[in-house]
Amino acid sequence: MNNSDIQRVMKILKEEVKQWKPPIVGEIERHFKDPYRVLISCLLSLRTKDKVTGGASTKLFSLADNPYSMLKLSPAKIMKAIYPVGFYRRKAEAVRIISKILIEKHNGIVPDKIDELLKLPGVGRKTANLVVTVAYKKQGLCVDTHVHRIVNRWGYVKTKSPYETEMALRKKLSPRYWIIFNDLLVAYGQNLCRPISPKCNICSISKYCLCYKE
């Protein structure tokens, strides 16, 4: 797959994803337009299914929706609210620590720069890029396991880790697609281009894929 193919693939995917439910973090941003909620919900989503993340985020934000009110909750109350997300004890602690740092160092405001976000505990490149792109609509390139798997399956890049994939895409992919890339490929990866038994027979972009050529 080359860059001219990517233009066609993006056009097809924009239409295809309309039939599927959007990723939960993007849904939270569209509904609330709040960087803090995007950051915390993204943290909760790590190694957790969207349905569980959505329920936990809704319950937690009904108790506290900003760093100041979050610190008023006890660790036990946060844990109870976000259960059963993966590693809920560790994530509850991270939510409190992040909220404290945001108040002490950023006046309660979530940073809009990747380097600053990466200084927060539990925040990796995926989360940092997602906050920048989804919450602030600034240039970033979020690469999760779906994006990493799919672009390698396409043959668009040949990389061994999400970090390598992000760096390769930053060099190769047109910036016009950066902000929307994750949302499109996550929906596509969850519903059709799955890790196991992808539905290649009904895929509208299979002819552009390396798997198809094999």
Any domain includes 191: yes
The last residue of a domain, from among 112, 135, 158: 135
- Mark whether 207 is an active-site residue: no
Give, to the nearest 10 degrees, the angle between helix 24-32 and helix 50-63.
Answer: 30
The last residue of a domain, from among 89, 107, 135: 135
Catalytic residue among 144, 158, 171, 213: 144
Catalytic residue among 65, 77, 126, 160: 126
- pLDDT over 70 percentage in the chain: 94
Peptide bond into 175 cis (omega under 30): no
What domain range is 188 assigned to? 3-21+140-213
Q: Which two structure tokens, joined as six digits, stand for 56?
A: 């936990």
Among candidate residues 198, 199, 208, 195, the one with its CA nearest the CA of residue 148? 195
Q: Which amino acid is at 50?
A: D
Any domain includes 108: yes
Residue 132: CA atoms inside 13 Å, Cβ hemisphere, count?
Answer: 22
- What CATH code is carried by the domain that includes residue 156? 1.10.1670.10
At which residue do the structure tokens 């509904």 appear?
A: 31
CA 126 – CA 187 distance, rounded (Å): 16
CA 107 – CA 122 distance, rounded (Å): 20
User: According to the model, what pLDDT value does residue 32 have?
Assistant: 64
Q: What pTM was estimated for this model as a whole? A: 0.86
Split into its structural domains, the chain has a count of: 2
- Whether residues 116 and 145 fall in one domain: no
Q: What is the pLDDT of residues 2-41, one digit of tens each?
A: 888 999 999 999 999 999 887 777 676 666 678 999 999 9
- Mark whether 91 is an active-site residue: no
- Whether residues 121 and 51 fall in one domain: yes
User: According to the model, what pLDDT value does residue 47 have?
Assistant: 84
Which residues have a Cβ under 8 Å from the Cβ of 14 and sit 6 or more positions away? 180, 184
User: According to the model, what pLDDT value does residue 87 have?
Assistant: 94
Any domain includes 70: yes
Report CA 80 to chain centroid distance, whole Å. 24
